[in-house]
Structure 1
Amino acid sequence: MTGAVAQAEAMRTEKENQIMHQVAILSDLFSNADPDFLQERIDKCMKLEGDEEAFHLLYEECLEIKNYPTMKDYIKRRKRASVTETRSIDDFVITDDTKALAENLTVECGICLEENILGIDTNTCSALKNEHTYCNHCIKRYVEAQIGQGLTIFKCMEGYCDAEFSLRMLQKLIEPPVFAKLWERRQQEEIAAAGVENLESCPFCNYMVSMPNQEDKIFQCWNPDCMIDSCRKCKEPSHIPMRCEEIEKKGQRNARTYLENEMAEAMIRQCPRCKKRFIIEAGCNRMTCPCGAIMCYVCKQLLDTANGDGYNHFERGPAPSEKCPLYSNTTALHEEEVRDAAERAKQDLDPQVSLLHDPTVNL
């Protein structure tokens, strides 16, 4: 159960990071778009929950959009709404204060240099004097890009300014799931920077505790959403009574899984017409799919049956030729394909990762 919880937590963290990365991509794609238009795309992205294939389709769909509403359109719409929802400024008695307010209804963003941005759609850095003003869209785009790089503190976008953007302000601009993850990371960094002696953290959540007893090899997490016991040395789920070097680490497990998948895929055939997947243990290499397609099991090609039954693709006699054999040792064929796939897959692995359990040792 502990391993399953750890795997679920790791998958959740990976999914959240993937979602933040995808949101940053969309924000960059529509850098000058109407915020409401961009938000609709981001809402669709959030619903995909990090699915790469679905996001690719969404991204391709966004690329096809040429005439999308821009920030200028948004400003015009806000101005029109402001006029209809409130009385005209001419209806008021113009004092010095209200005149100053009327003259400063719009500002210029220090990044996109867009003029006539409503003050309500802007924010500033936390400088005590001479703070720098930016439109919310530019701030949101900048912060999401910084989050994608693992940062939790966001300096003012003016190069010489050391002020930051406050978390209180960012909470209003960033998607709630993204902000929640940012808040967790920020808290974790602040605790680590406090200099607490013998501070240990859970590898699977943000729970921390001081553990002065170095003989205690097990970290017990009391976060009710985690509760995973882990090894203080290798940061893997508790593996007592086994030693750390006897435990397959995440990188090793991922590498082994990748090899095993590639080796299994090497034996599987797929119908070129209906994409049905299959494998045989023995028999004739001329395969007929339920959809009616006829293919060669050896070279996996769709056979031309327009001028025959497709048997002319095969060598029927004992003499070897360039044609595929009509009958062959399927076991030997699969073994050769698996070996070739394993050799190719190993070239893609990180050379720094040594396999604890190598699925290719008996090939």
Structure 2
Amino acid sequence: GCCFDDVPANRIAMCEEGHIFCLSCSRRGAEVELGYRRTVLKCMTAGCTAVFPDSEAVLFLSKPVFEGLLRARQQSELKMAGLDSLVECPFCSYAAIVENDEDKEFRCQGPKCRKVSCRLCKALTHIPLSCEEYRKELEKNNVLSVQHKVEEEMSQALIRECPKCKTRFFKTEGCNKMTCPQCHTHMCYVCKIKIKDYSHFDQSPAGQPAQKKNRKYALCLLSVDPQLIMQMLIYVFFIFSNEYQ
């Protein structure tokens, strides 16, 4: 809206039809238009279809905003012209006429972009690789990235952290009652909580039902072969990585 305050003549802006606004109201109206990515600033008077000419807009817009408006208008006009030599940046709204068809790179001059892209596949420049070679390289790197992530997850699955001193360690053999090598706190390898003794574990003979001892939770197994866990993780790794090949 407009404030309708009385302001000095040097603090007003006028649309092409002569409607007058203070610079503050003109600036707020322009911010709305620019927010909709419009390249012309319409008059705020109801029913008026006129716009603020650039000679007026420069009075209430900051220099960076005014220059950005001019660039956006230029880009819009270029796109509407439908020129065959017009090349658009795939990463922003910048566009420019490029006469040299032999140049396979497009150098964006957008102040917040400045990226160099391939005119054929629209990706970041990958010279001297061809588009097909670059695509294969991306696929290869993606598979390696997935494999690296899975390998890290496998390592993390075997590592345990002491609930007291936070020392990290892992086991290669023995039962699931682990002792921190730093502070000697006892913990369960399965559920990772601090424990006192073997009463935390199910020590039923093989083939016998698990001991309940009136507990609200299931007892952890006393013995789980870490090599078996590793084999299971490796199996999951191959299943997971094959999906990306």
TM-score, normalised to structure 1, is 0.39
Aligned residue runs from structure 1 range 173-188, under 5 A:
184-188=71-75
Unaligned runs of 5+ in 2: 211-217
- 2:96 aligns with one of 208, 211, 230: 208
Is the partner of 1:128 in helix, strand or coil? coil
Shift of 1:240: 4.5
Q: Do residues 130 (structure 1) and 38 (structure 2) align?
A: no
Give the structure 2 partner of residue 234 of structure 1.
121
Unaligned runs of 5+ in 1: 1-108, 343-358
Give the structure 2 partner of residue 219 of structure 1.
105
Shift of 1:208: 2.5
Q: Measure, in 1, the Cα distance between the counterparts of 2:16 and 2:183.
A: 69
Aligned residue runs from structure 1 range 242-261, under 5 A:
242-244=130-132, 247=135
Contact kept, 8 Å, 2:165 with 2:183, in 1: the verdict is: no
- 1:327 aligns with one of 218, 224, 242: 224
Q: Measure, in 2, the Cα distance between the counterparts of 1:180 and 1:256.
A: 44
Shift of 1:247: 0.9
Aligned residue runs from structure 1 range 312-351, under 5 A:
312-315=199-202, 319=206, 322-325=218-221, 326-329=223-226, 330-332=229-231, 334-335=233-234
Is the partner of 2:105 in helix, strand or coil? strand
Higher relative contact order (CA 8 A, sep 6+): 1
Shift of 1:233: 1.9
Contact kept, 8 Å, 1:263 with 1:339, in 2: the verdict is: no
Shift of 1:280: 4.5
Shift of 1:234: 0.9
Contact kept, 8 Å, 2:15 with 2:51, in 1: the verdict is: yes
Q: Measure, in 2, the Cα distance between the counterparts of 1:258 and 1:179.
A: 44
Is the partner of 1:135 in helix, strand or coil? helix
Is the partner of 1:247 in helix, strand or coil? helix
CA RMSD after TM alignment: 5.5
TM-score, normalised to structure 2, is 0.52
Shift of 1:168: 2.4
Q: What is the percent sequence identity of the aligned residues? A: 22
Contact kept, 8 Å, 2:13 with 2:21, in 1: the verdict is: yes
Shift of 1:235: 1.1
Aligned positions, number: 217
Contact kept, 8 Å, 1:201 with 1:207, in 2: the verdict is: yes
Aligned residue runs from structure 1 range 69-84, under 5 A:
none
Structure number with the higher helix fraction is: 1
Give the structure 1 partner of residue 215 of structure 2.
none
Q: Do residues 361 (structure 1) and 243 (structure 2) align?
A: yes
Is the partner of 2:87 in helix, strand or coil? strand
Contact kept, 8 Å, 1:117 with 1:135, in 2: the verdict is: no
Give the structure 2 partner of residue 168 of structure 1.
58
- 1:302 aligns with one of 176, 190, 193: 193
